[in-house]
Amino acid sequence: MTLRFALPLLALLGVPAGAQSVDWPVYHGSDDHTHFTTLAQITPGNVKQLRVAWTFDTGDAFPGSEMQANPIIVDGVLYATTPKLQVFALDAATGRQQWRFDPLNGAPATSRIRHRGVVVTGDRVLFNYRNRLYALDKRTGRPIPTFGDSGWVDLRQGLGRPVDGLSVSASTPGVVFGNLLIMGSTVPEQLPSAPGDIRAFDITTGALVWSFHTIPHPGEFGYDTWPAEAWTIAGGANAWSGVTLDSARGLVFAATGSASYDFFGANRLGDNLFANSVIALDARTGRRVWHHQVLRHDLWDRDLPAAPVLVTVQREGRTIDAVAQITKTGHTFVFDRVTGASLFPLAEQRMPQQALPGDRPAPSQQFPTSPPPFARQQLTAADLTRRTPAAYRAALKTFREYATPHPYTAPNTRGIIIYPGVDGGGEWGGPAFDPTTGLLYVNSNEMAWLLKLVPRSDASLYDANCAGCHGAQRRGTALGPSLVDIATRRTREQLTQVVREGTGRMPAFGGAMDGAAVNDLVNFLVTGQDATKERAARAPGPTTLPYRTAYFDIFLDHEGYPGVKTPWGTLNAIDLNRGTIAWSRPLGEYPKLAAKGVRNTGTDNYGGAIVTANGLLFIAATTYDNKIRAFDKRTGALLWEHALPFAGNATPSTYMVNGTQYLVIACGGGKNGAPSGGVYVAFALPPR
């Protein structure tokens, strides 16, 4: 017998004695996204005995690919995705493959796709590949022909305006309420972009049942926080990190990202509701119940990075059902689940008003006074790396070049430092919550990012990135050769590769420029001509912005390590009852530094933790040391760690089959230059 469960209920009742099988039936274990389990076969006392029970190599990793899926386990079968977004089913006890579905029908993958898993409900598996929402037969993996158009629905349809040629997908699984699949979306962060509507689809037919417009249409609440025509052209404000369900109340909660384009908002003057907001909706109709906008008129790509978490807190002798929301800036907001009232005081702070011509930052922003931030809030010279004197000098040089007097300094052509960075603080793995203690566990990045805008021209792109070494006229300097006749020596493909990957003393720009910018720069190198006006003439309109990103990447020292003081990544326990941080510790290491005795530096980390009722906190997430770890949830003490074949940038799952508890993690790597893989690893205790 397989025990289906709602984890908050089991937190009170416990797993029945003698249960032989327990599922991990939905993304993050339960619709409330607590990452909590009462499975207790693995304990603080025996966790050191964990060993590899089975591995499954998907066999389709490729350079730069990632794999972020949180595996779903139902009736002894594990469902997940590969780096190329094939869907598979495994025997959860052995790792033996039962079926596999390839949405590309054998064609090669053309680019990396970030994806976090599937939805299993009734007789079907629902998953998203680019603009296609598929329904597969749970037993065979074949598309169900009665769903949508021969097994799939086009997510570009039903958005209230044409979005042909634009990307509309979903990186995170939705939730099931009755016969509805409720989900957010992933849309471009540049312009043009699609709107980030939150939508509900009929699970049986694929028909669109309701939509909530995160960019309000005329007559809708919040319409006056945008320019009048924004709903016809603006994009983003999307719940890309998923949604959360309170099925008893019939409420669905979403956390949205910024409006497109991320770093310049002259075409979207106003607060831009419902971007950067926590939203409570009626799950049956999509009607807004309440909302709280965490950041007005975002100019820093400070999306709400994870779906809300449903929590229960103690306040003045009362038990309150609440919603906890983490941010990239390291703040934790806590709202009454029914009314949306903040459970901690909020402070309004005045914001800098200087910005690029045409833009207008919000006059003020709100911040919770408790709990304290779980990430540092402003970078000063005193916070720069002291790893070596040379590292400090390199970091100080960059710090002075990208002068940022206030954490909310608007992007400009001189350059700013975004800190905490656009990868957090908090990230998409989201927090884990322990209902038995009121502790919220959050892993955090502690890395700054550099951002510089330039006027939207190919020449300014060259001036910002290349002229320092190759000269303003492309004729070369002592630091770099002439590029005047580069087209006679290199093909466009070769130049594109050099710009993306670097060569010799030249750094790689692949992470700092989007694909369009790389192509435009290569065109300028080959022709010496600025084609900006020609492109604008071909595609005129309100989505053509006067500025573009010239540089956008992590702030590193001269040897590629973060340019700030350690820790570079942390694991934190936040007491939501008291509004305090119970403990904090570095998370992860750089193997090369550890070999030199530089330990516990922390690293950037992606993917969340799971917490057990009997005292454990499991997390992988770290980008470079390829480990999964178990901590004492009360103190943060390390109890166990095990090497993985590639970085486990995902959230683990735990389940029981035939009386054995397993812990499984997707090992996909690929973040920030780390090696890419495609292996699932499951752990269990030795047979007794």
**pLDDT tens-digit readout, 335-369:** 999 999 999 999 999 999 999 999 999 999 999 99
Whether 434 shows a pLDDT value over 80: the answer reads yes
Q: Which neighbouring-strand residues pair with 554? A: 449
Q: Is the CB of residue 271 less than 8 Å from the CB of residue 234? A: no
Whether 14 shows a pLDDT value over 80: the answer reads no
Q: Is the CB of residue 439 less than 8 Å from the CB of residue 575? A: yes
Q: So where are the chain's domains?
A: 7-106+113-377+419-447+566-684, 457-544
pLDDT band (50, 70, 90) for residue 220: very high
**pLDDT tens-digit readout, 466-491:** 866 787 678 776 657 888 888 888 88
- Positive or negative CA dihedral for 34, 35, 40, 43? negative
Other CB atoms within a 10 A radius of the CB of residue 279 amount to 24
Q: Is the CB of residue 297 less than 8 Å from the CB of residue 270? A: yes
**pLDDT tens-digit readout, 53-74:** 999 999 999 999 999 999 999 9
Whether 320 shows a pLDDT value over 90: the answer reads yes
Q: Is 527 exposed, middle or buried (0-12, 13-18, 19+ CB in 10 A)?
A: exposed
Note the pLDDT of residue 493.
77
How far apart, in whole angstroms, are the C-alpha atoms of residue 127 and residue 80? 10
Q: Is the CB of residue 679 less than 8 Å from the CB of residue 55? A: yes
CATH topology of domain 457-544: Cytochrome Bc1 Complex; Chain D, domain 2 (1.10.760)
CB-facing half-sphere around the CA of 155: CA atoms within 13 A: 28
Cα separation values, 240 from 36, 356, 382, 686, Å: 22, 28, 36, 39
How far apart, in whole angstroms, are the C-alpha atoms of residue 409 and residue 425? 18
**pLDDT tens-digit readout, 415-431:** 999 999 999 999 999 99
Note the pLDDT of residue 514.
67
Q: Is the CB of residue 601 less than 8 Å from the CB of residue 634? A: no
**Number of H helices and number of E strands within the chain?**
9, 39
Q: Is 185 exposed, middle or buried (0-12, 13-18, 19+ CB in 10 A)?
A: buried
Whether 12 shows a pLDDT value over 90: the answer reads no
Pick the CATH number of 7-106+113-377+419-447+566-684 from 3.40.50.410, 3.40.710.10, 2.140.10.10, 3.90.170.10: 2.140.10.10
Note the pLDDT of residue 536.
56
DSSP letters spanning 272-308 = -TTTTEEEEEETTT--EEEEEESSSS--S-----S--
Lowest mean pLDDT among 138-142, 190-194, 352-356, 620-624: 190-194
| Helix H or strand E segment including 537 | helix 532-538
